[in-house]
Structures are given as structure tokens and as C-alpha cells.
Structure 1
């Protein structure tokens, strides 16, 4: 990305989880912009310790571990560490995208399959090409994650086990921050990195966002599911070609440069 401060003078609202938002803010600031943080969701562990023996048995069965998010990887490996479990070498690994793959590498786990587009449908298609029906598919996910892989693969004869390792809940402190920010700032960009942030945002501000002048405030969605969540409220948004934070930043930079040329 060209270091010419293309976001200078721009204010960006970042609605993702507080921990994950820090790097987003740093990148906005490196590009000359101002980032306002309002963490709308947070995550709690959901997998109880009384299921540890079932997890142990599942790990022993040849097949695939499928990770649909960075959060899933973090909560799963924290659970394994707490219960003194490891991922055996015979397990094959699939990840929904590049950041999830990199996080798995930090746990010394190499990814065997990753789709070109970072969405569940593409991950399911990749598994259809690389997995055998005799291999169990164990999906590591959050409580709000869709069951696309199970729906796509079960009719083909695969045994699909879903492990819900974390749950997504509203961040009450962040919701207060959003209300304050909405009263104190005007935003050039409002960024959404998940459907859950969209729903929480709309629950907090209701129809108020529709009154924001479209020529002054642009909504940026990380991918098609987030875009569709906004559309369900009648709100259009811009979506990057690459469904990542860097893709969103690149899109905002291109939009800002285009404004400067007008």
C-alpha cells in the first residue's frame, strides 16, 4: 500500500472486537486517518471441560480439523492446552483464510487446504475436492457461525462433527462507546467486519444511520455476508475484492484518492 497518507483528514469508525481492533486502528493511523473504536461484540469460551473425553476421541479419529476463524483457533488451542491435549500428526487441517492459517502456524500447525475466497462456501468446496468420505470432518466454530460445511458435506456421505468453542455476545462497554461516538463525531467510513457487528450496531442506533448523508459517510463491509446483513436493514455498503482488513483499508484508500481527484 502506498505510504502517501491517503486517509488524511478521514475519520473511520471501527466496530470490531477491542483486541482485534487495535491493529486496525494502527493501520488507519499509519495511513493518516483517525480511528474511533467502538467494540460491539466480545467472545467467551463455550466448550465445557466435561466434554474433554469426547474431544480426545475425536482427535484420535483420522480426518480433518476445519477452522472457520482466528477466534476458533485461539479458543480451541487454549482448550487443548488447558486439558493437556495435542493435535495428532494424522489430522489434516483446513482454514477459511490466510489470517486463520497464520494463526494456526503460530500453534505449530500447518494448513493443508485453504480456499481462494475466504468464505465458508468456498471452504466447503475445497473440502469436497481434497477430503474422502471415510475421513471425519470436525469443524471448529463459534455459536453464530453458519453450518454451511455440515449442510454441504453430510449429503455426500461425510461425517461432520461441529465443536462450538466460543460464543459471541454484545460488548456493553463498547455499545456505550458507540453511542458517545455517534454524538461526538461524524464519520467518513463506518467499517463492519461481521454480521454480528452489523446487528448489534443497528440495535444500538436503530434507523439513525439511515439519516447520515450517504455522500459523507460510506459503510465498508468485509465480505458478502456482512454486506447482506446491512442490506437486510436497507443499507448499502462497499466491499473489497479481498475479504480482509487490508482489503478494506485498500478500498478506503482508493475511495479517498478518487475523492481528491474530483
Structure 2
């Protein structure tokens, strides 16, 4: 069995600068060559930061719901700034293994995790645990889909909605991406969020579609897959589980199948 099944494949890593190294390492450990070019950066919602810190100083809540490791990171920054101690009786829900690991590293217990790493599954689990009248703090991406909050409000819970971070395109990398696509140096594209798909397409929209729509495209989960399909990508591979490790394994399985 080939210990380096991705040998000979060039793979584009589009994650943010902070998150790219882990995926790069997994691909290279499997023999692939990586072209690292962050297409988005994750930043706090600056115009609402003071408001969020003030909310954390005064709010009381029974639950915190985290739907990404970034949500944990930015919430923790705001929480430290608020000067408050985390309530000892607060319950925490986390979607996905990476998010759970980020919470665990802070020493906080996790009470709820879904079996599938998508918002719909987390919403289904939450409505079985959260009770009417409880208050849920929801630090999230400003670009998040509206799934969690409506589900909780439907059962009579109160939600403190906190759009605390967002994704912004890294415009300075546009020329490099266009050059690589024009030159045809990439075999595989990787997308870990709908935002990375949108940034990619916005950067290369004037380039002939044949140069990029036919590339193997690995998506971290079904929501990212849906965004890629919307933009016409023809050869989409979806991770299972919905993690970067799952992405690399799905690509390896695809490559092995191609070789048989």
C-alpha cells in the first residue's frame, strides 16, 4: 500500500493564515505538494466589539453554543476583556471535534455535541436539552446561517445573539491565485467554508470556467459542497467526517479509486 498516496498531486490550501498549516501538514504527510494561499481572514466584528464586551459584563445565561473554533477564540477574547468569571453552572454545546478541543483546552466542560458536524444536527440536539425559559448565549460568525436561533426560540428559549467575528477576502492574494489558475499548476482545490468558495470565485470570475470548474474540489462538509456546486464545480469530493482529516482521507480515497 502506498504510504504517500498523494504523490504527484498539487493541492491548493485556501484556509486562513492561522488555520492553513494543519491542513498543509496532513496533505504533505500523504505525499502531496501544497500551494498555500489564504483566501479569507477571520476578523472580529470591530464595530460591535464594545457592545459584545458590555453584554458579557451584564448578561446572565444558562448555555453557550459554539459552532466553530473561531467562535470559541473570539468569545474568549471578549470574555477576558469583560473581566467576568465563567458561571460554574453554565452548560456548553460545541459542534465538531475541533471546536470541542478548543473548548476543552480552556478547561470548560462540554455538555452537548451532535453526531454530525452541521448546524441542523446541533439544533436538533439542543432542542432536546435546552428547556423553555432558559437563556442561550450564541457567539457566532456574522455570516452564519440562521438555523440555531430559530430552533431555540421555537421551544421558548431566549437567545443572546452575538455576531462576534466574520470572514474577509484576502484581496492581496488575488493576483497569485489567478496566475496559478491560468498556468494550470493545481490538481486539487480545498475549501473549508462557503466563504472560501465565494472568495475563490470572486477572484477568478473573469477566467475561463474550463480552467477551474473541472479541478478536483474537496469540501469539508455539505454546506460548503452546496456553495461549490452553486458555482459550477464539476468534481466535488466531500469529507466524512467533516474535518480536515476527513478531507484528506476523502481525497486519498478518491485518488485510489481513480487509480484502479
TM-score between both structures, scaled by the size of structure 1: 0.91
Gapped regions of structure 1 (runs ≥ 5): none
Is residue 2:10 matched to residue 1:8?
A: no
Secondary structure of the structure 2 residue equivalent to 1:164: strand
Secondary structure of the structure 2 residue equivalent to 1:187: coil
- Partner in structure 2 of residue 142 of structure 1: 141
Secondary structure of the structure 1 residue equivalent to 2:74: helix
- Partner in structure 2 of residue 125 of structure 1: 124
Please tell me whether the aligned partners of residues 213 and 232 of structure 2 are also in contact (alpha carbons under 8 angstroms): no
Of 179-188 and 37-46, deviating more is: 179-188
Of 231-240 and 46-55, deviating more is: 46-55
Please tell me whether the aligned partners of residues 210 and 235 of structure 1 are also in contact (alpha carbons under 8 angstroms): no
Task: Measure how far apart 1:117 and its partner are.
Answer: 0.4
- CA-to-aligned-CA distance 1:33-66 (integer Å, 9 cap, x gap): 00111111112212422443321222x33x1100
Secondary structure of the structure 1 residue equivalent to 2:231: coil
Question: Where in structure 2 are the equivalents of 1:202-241 lying within 5 Å?
Answer: 202-206=201-205, 208=207, 210-212=209-211, 217-236=215-234, 237-241=236-240
- Partner in structure 2 of residue 48 of structure 1: 49
Residues in 1 aligned to 2:230 and 2:130: alpha-carbon distance in whole angstroms: 35
| Runs of 4+ that moved beyond 6 A | none
Of 234-243 and 159-168, deviating more is: 234-243
Task: Measure how far apart 1:126 and its partner are.
Answer: 0.7
- Partner in structure 1 of residue 191 of structure 2: 192
Of 9-18 and 76-85, deviating more is: 76-85
Residues in 2 aligned to 1:32 and 1:259: alpha-carbon distance in whole angstroms: 17
Residues in 1 aligned to 2:120 and 2:19: alpha-carbon distance in whole angstroms: 24
- CA-to-aligned-CA distance 1:62-107 (integer Å, 9 cap, x gap): x110001111100110111233223211110001111100001111
How many pairs are equivalent? 257
Please tell me whether the aligned partners of residues 11 and 35 of structure 1 are also in contact (alpha carbons under 8 angstroms): yes
Secondary structure of the structure 2 residue equivalent to 1:238: strand
Task: Measure how far apart 1:14 and its partner are.
Answer: 1.0
- Partner in structure 2 of residue 68 of structure 1: 67
Residues in 2 aligned to 1:174 and 1:127: alpha-carbon distance in whole angstroms: 39
Residues in 2 aligned to 1:50 and 1:105: alpha-carbon distance in whole angstroms: 27
